[in-house]
Chain A
Amino acid sequence: MPTWPEKRSVLGRRVRRADGPLKVTGAAKYTSDVQPAGCLYGMILRSKWPAARVTEIDLSEAARSPGIKAAILVRDGERRVRYYGEELAAVAGTTKQACLDALRKIAVRAQRLPFVVKETDGIKPDAPRVWEEAPNLSKPQVTERGQVEQAFAEADVVVEGTYSTQIEIHHCLESHGNAAVWNGDELTVWSSTQGVFSVREGLAGNLGVDQSKVRVISEFMGGGFGSKFGPGVEGAIVARLAKEANAPVKLMLSRFEESLAVGNRPSSIQKVRLGATRAGKLVAYELDSYGTAGVGSGAATEGGGGGAEFPAPYIYAIPNTRVQHRGVALNAGAARAFRAPGHPQASFGIESILDELAVKLGLDPVELRLLNDPSEIRQREYRLGRDRFGWREKYRSPGSSPGPVKVGVGCAGATWGGGGGGTRAQAQINPDGSVEIRCGTQDLGTGTRTVMAMVAAEVFGLPPEAIRARLGDTAYPPSGGSGGSTTAASVSPAVYDACEKALTELKQRTGLEDVRGENWKPACRKLGLEPLVVSGQWQKGLSSSGVGGVQFAEVEVDIETGLVRVRKITCVQDCGLIVSRLTCESQVNGGIIMGIGYALYEDRVMDAGTGVVLNPNLETYKLPGIADIPEIDVVLVDMPERGVIGIGEPVTIPTASAIANAVANALGVRISSLPITPDKVLAALGQVKEVTA
């Protein structure tokens, strides 16, 4: 089994992002920037009804509209639409303005149907059915271990609570979209995607063409967070428009469309019961949870959450547990994978009730976790983080902070996989000594290019900037989608393998023993006219999976305005062998900041009366702004012997839980639904009998 070199000169260093200069100068070309010669613009007409039977769509006037080169139906014949924003028809035209005009000329005949968009309405037996053939609420998925009722009966203390999490929208800054160019029966698609190969597979299947005839390119992409694996309906549409118009077509969704139809994090409404001994040892746990994945829940997901389920009781070992998950279908856009699917919801429920238990038992929340968390890694992280954060000095009994701006602290832990596999890479060594590394992966902004260059640089004894890393193209050796925090752990071993083999072959072909570093160029010159091209693949031993992380939050809450401000987050996180330290740190910051958004600001709001999304834009769907960012203190726990493990997802999981616990600690009253907005804070304070001010 291969291993990483004991002594590393490049890996683990802070190396400038390989494509940094392209990004700061505007030279990086994203899918939205691609403009093939003669390229048309595509746009989609969407349902303005949350539920309807569409009987006729007349495209004739739109097709005759000035500048319009193609107009198509998404689906032929009579059909149902099940959410506000579902795709109906599409046009391609010479300008965006021409497309906007044409969309207004499409006549749709439809019969409105009853709809339901709120979880609490959707579970009612007489609620309108989203999927005709099945009730909205799925059959429960139940797992039971031990003797739950007996354990609760014997527990010294039992706490109960209901915790809910909202629908979060990905809002990648580059919207979903593609540019499609047909050349005969071959299709080239620029795609803003997390998986060039999964987009190719999806498109080929959808269009009924061989995968070998579809090429997908994603050199730069503006964020995915789980929502950009497949081509989507919009991907199939743009390929059809390009065929119909016999011209290249680019179709990027608007921010409005991003809010309706391309994924979200499912909600959860979690009824939790927790039993423990007087000393704080957890003995019994019960969860009854339901949530919605929009139209993604329902008929297709009988007996489960349909994407709304999550691991429970998450990271804690409790001998007696009963867990029940259900999904409720609603007339709203379907959920998709979202950075650590299920985990932030799981974390919020269990970490919230753990702190309730700590209050009831008069225990320090960190001590309670040390008593019940079976992970040795997190045990050590909690101890380190507690000192670094100053927990002992900062923690005081709930609600005892003086004055109108209350300060509180909270903590939470998390786990994630992040292992690798299924990736090939190619190293090309040119006679002039230049090096190209090719891999059909993609860089979501996580730093994959930099990781590839650093691994090759380590093997060849070269500076990372001497390596040209090429990715984001199905013409390169295949790799998987960038999801599950698997990219670094998949790509690094494959590049390492290719480079190690290339090094061996270079030595053989040149007859030289030492070709690394300063010997590199002279050795490469001996290749003559023929570059060296060597393939490698992911190997066991260079990566592993399973990480633990803990976070501490310090917040201040203004009890007059209800506004919560996060002062500080301390994060202690392991990720195996650190490959690219600078981009790794950035990902940790990013996960935490996304967690702050989940904790305090983000929420897709549906209108029960009209069935529409009320905040389909970025001024009413709130993201954290630059002034909302607290001091972030990060400790990366280095475990090189474990190989490479991904870090993108685990770092976003515990942030919201830690913040919610800190808010509860500050106020002495818990806001048990995310996001913790000022109105909820003020409402919760209304229940407090005495407020010191």
Chain B
Amino acid sequence: MKQSTSPPGDPLSVSRRSFLKNLGTTAAAGAVSAAEGIAQESARAGAEAVQGPDAVPITLRVNGETRPLTLEPRVTLLDALRDHAGLTGAKEVCDRGTCGACTVLLDGEPVYACMMLAIQAQGREITTVEGLARNGNLTALQEAFVDKDASMCGYCTPGFVMSLTALLRRNPHPTPADIHHACAGNLCRCGTQPRIVQAALQASGVEVLSRTEVISYAHLA
């Protein structure tokens, strides 16, 4: 059975997720010992100090900086970033893991910041849309978004940019189908999707020409 690696006296290092994961491991270890294992795990978790409901000090690593914050354990990572850390690039649209506007990278993987608690993100490297451009220089993807006009109102844009940043890092030459898959969890209401695909392709080195034409009325028969 996997043992908790948390040092004694550090109550924050057992997240709900790892607790549940450990429970799962325990249960899979064998039907006979499962109940006993769960009981042991529960007892250990119960022995940890209960977090909250009042605000607790936490530390997040965001865009390479250490951010000490004080917030209630029930605060989501999204609210922590937006309301407590002043990083408003990630947006709240659905607040329930549907639209992707709150997408940030957690150790390089795109996640919905509205779907996890800030305390769970401790010890992880968080990247938000504000952390992509270096010294005012946009990334190739961001440049392509501007070139191809892949944003309209712009509210979904940070989420798409983060999903595609993660895609391009693991797959520098995606197909349109790869791009669709990477953005399957992002919604746009203005209708920028065709140009988001074009921007992602351009950022991967594929030049995409717009087929839109302007034809003079006089030339229409």
A residues whose Cβ falls under 8 Å from a Cβ of B: 12, 14, 16-17, 19-30, 32-33, 35, 95-97, 171-175, 220-223, 225, 252, 254-255, 377, 380-381, 383-384, 444-447, 574, 578, 581-583, 585-594, 617-619, 623-627, 629, 632-639
Q: Which 3 A-B pairs have the closest CB atoms?
A: A26-B89, A445-B153, A590-B191
- The smallest C-beta distance from B164 to any residue of chain A, in angstroms, reads 11
- Chain A residues within an 8 Å CB radius of B208: none
Judged by DSSP, the binding face of A is mixed
Q: How far is the CB of A181 from the nearest CB of chain B, in Å?
A: 17
**Considering only CB atoms, which chain A residue lies closest to B129 in the complex?**
A26
Decide: A26 near B98, CB < 8 A? Known: A20-B149, A384-B215, A636-B212.
no
Known contacts A21-B142, A255-B95; is A173 also within 8 Å of B188 by CB?
yes
Q: Smallest distance from the beta carbon of B131 to chain A beta carbons, Å?
A: 9
Q: How far is the CA of A593 from the CA of B191 in the complex (A)?
A: 6
A173 and B187 in contact, given A97-B72, A445-B154 (Cβ under 8 angstroms): yes
Q: Known contacts A25-B138, A627-B180: does B212 contact A33 (CB below 8 Å)?
A: no
**Chain A residues with CB under 8 A of B151:** 17, 20, 23-24, 445
Give A12 to B213 CA distance when docked, in angstroms.
12
Determine if B48 is an interface residue (Cβ-Cβ < 8 Å).
no
Q: How many angstroms between the C-alpha atoms of A43 and B83 in the bound complex? A: 15
Q: Are B215 and A221 in contact (CB under 8 A)?
A: no
| Contact indicator B154/A578 (Cβ below 8 Å) | no
Chain B interface residue count, CB cutoff 8 Å, equals 67
Task: Enumerate B149-206 residues with CB–CB distance to A below 8 Å.
Answer: 149, 151-158, 161, 179-181, 183-184, 186-197
B74 at the A interface (CB under 8 A): yes
B220 touching A29, Cβ below 8 Å: no
Compute how far the CA of A626 lies from the CA of B177 in the bound complex, rounded to whole angstroms: 10
Name the residue of chain A whose CB is nearest to the CB of B153.
A445
Q: How many A-B residue pairs have CB under 8 A?
A: 213
Residues A171 and B157 in contact in the complex (CB < 8 Å), given A26-B90, A585-B212: no
B161–A635 touching, CB < 8 Å: no
Contacts of B16 in A (CB 8 A): none
When distances are taken between beta carbons in the complex, the residues of chain B under 8 Å from A626 are 179-180, 183-184, 186, 188, 193, 196-197
Known: A173-B156, A586-B152, A618-B93. A21 touches B217 (CB 8 A): no
* C-alpha spacing A623/B187, complex, angstroms: 7
With both beta carbons as reference points, the residue of chain A lying nearest to B180 in the complex is identified as: A627
Which of chain B's residues have a CB closer than 8 A to the CB of A639? 216-217
Contact of B221 among A35, A383, A589 (CB under 8 A): A383
Instruction: Please give, as numbers and ranges, the residues of chain A lying within 8 Å of B187 by CB-CB distance.
Output: 173, 618, 623, 625
Given A174-B155, A220-B154, A626-B188, 19 new contacts (CB under 8 A): A17-B146, A23-B145, A24-B129, A25-B89, A26-B90, A26-B130, A30-B91, A33-B88, A172-B189, A221-B153, A445-B153, A589-B192, A591-B191, A592-B191, A625-B183, A625-B184, A626-B196, A632-B194, A637-B214
* Contacting pair A222 B154 (CB below 8 A): yes
* Contact, CB under 8 Å: B220 / A623: no
Name the residue of chain A whose CB is nearest to the CB of B185: A625
Distance (Å) between the CB of B151 and the closest chain A CB?
A: 4
A16-B154 contact, Cβ under 8 Å, with A174-B91, A626-B197, A636-B213: no
B213 / chain A contacts, CB cutoff of 8 Å: 634-636
The smallest beta-carbon distance between A392 and chain B, in angstroms, is: 15
Once bound together, how far apart are the Cα atoms of A459 and B212, in whole Å?
27
* Cα–Cα, bound, A21→B139 (Å): 11
Check if B217 sits within 8 Å of A20, measured CB to CB: no
What is the minimal beta-carbon distance from B186 to any residue of chain A, in angstroms? Answer: 7
- Give the residue name and chain of the A residue nearest to B132 (CB): A25
| Contact residues in A for B191 (Cβ distance below 8 Å) | 586, 589-594
B214 touches A638 (CB 8 A): yes
A384 to chain B: closest residue by CB: B220
For B189, list chain A residues within 8 Å (CB).
Answer: 171-173, 223, 225, 594, 623
Contact indicator B93/A97 (Cβ below 8 Å)? no
- Tell me, yes or no, whether B101 is within 8 Å of chain A by CB: yes
A-B contact pairs, 13 of them (CB 8 A): A22-B154, A23-B151, A35-B88, A173-B155, A174-B153, A220-B153, A252-B92, A384-B221, A589-B192, A594-B191, A633-B211, A635-B213, A636-B215
Interface contact B142-A25, CB-CB below 8 Å: yes
For B90, what are the chain A residues with a Cβ–Cβ distance below 8 Å? 26
Provide the residues of chain A in CB contact with B94, threshold 8 Å: 255, 617-619
- Whether A173 pairs with B101 at a CB distance below 8 angstroms is yes
Residue of B nearest to A170 (CB): B189
B residues 80-104 in Cβ contact with A at 8 Å:
82-83, 86-96, 98-99, 101
Do the beta carbons of B138 and A254 come within 8 Å of each other?
no
Q: How far is the CA of A581 from the CA of B132 in the complex (A)?
A: 29
- B98 partner residues in chain A, CB cutoff 8 A: 617-619
Q: How far is the CA of A594 from the CA of B190 in the complex (A)?
A: 8
A94 to B27, CA, bound (A): 42
Chain B nearest CB, measured from A13 CB (Å): 10
A16 and B149 alpha carbons, distance in the complex (Å) = 7
Does B133 count as interface, using CB distance less than 8 angstroms? yes
The verdict on B128 contacting chain A, using a C-beta distance below 8 Å, is yes
Residue of B nearest to A619 (CB): B98
Tell me, rounded to whole Å, the shortest Cβ–Cβ distance linking B12 to chain A: 18
Q: How far is the CB of A519 from chain B (nearest CB, A)?
A: 30
A19 and B154 CA atoms in complex are apart in Å by: 9
Interface string of B51-66 (1 = CB under 8 A from A): 0000000000000000
Contact call A381/B193, Cβ cutoff below 8 A: no
